[in-house]
Amino acid sequence: SARKPNFAGWANDIRLMRERDGRNHRDMCVLFRWACQDNFWSGNVLSPAKLRDKWTQLEINRNKQQAGVIASKPKLDLTNTDWIYGVEL
C-alpha cells in the first residue's frame, strides 16, 4: 500500500521551488503532469521533493520529447566515403 503523504512537507517543497528556485505554479504543474504521463518518470516522481530534485533532468527529457528527438546514438554509415573527396595521395 502507498505511504500516507506528508502534506506539510509537500507544501514546504513547493514553497522552496517558488522562493529559492524561482519557479511558478504553472511550470510546476506542467512538468509534474508530464512526469506523471511518462512511462519512466511516472514511477519516480511521486512527490514535490522528487520533482524539485529531478527538475533539470525532467525538463531536458520533456524538451527532447517535444522536439521529437530520441535520446539515442546517431546511425553510423560505415560505407560513406564522402570524407575522402578532394584528398590527393
Q: How far apart are the first and last CA of the chain?
A: 72
Residue 74, pLDDT score: 64
10-35: per-residue pLDDT in tens? 999 999 999 999 999 999 999 999 99
User: What is the rounded (10 degree) CA torsion for 6, 7, 9, 15?
Assistant: 160
- Cβ atoms of 31 and 66 closer than 8 Å: no
pLDDT at 78: 79
Digit-coded pLDDT (tens) for 71-86? 555 677 778 787 777 7
pLDDT at 72: 57
The residue extents of the domains of the chain are 7-67
CA distance 24 to 14: 9
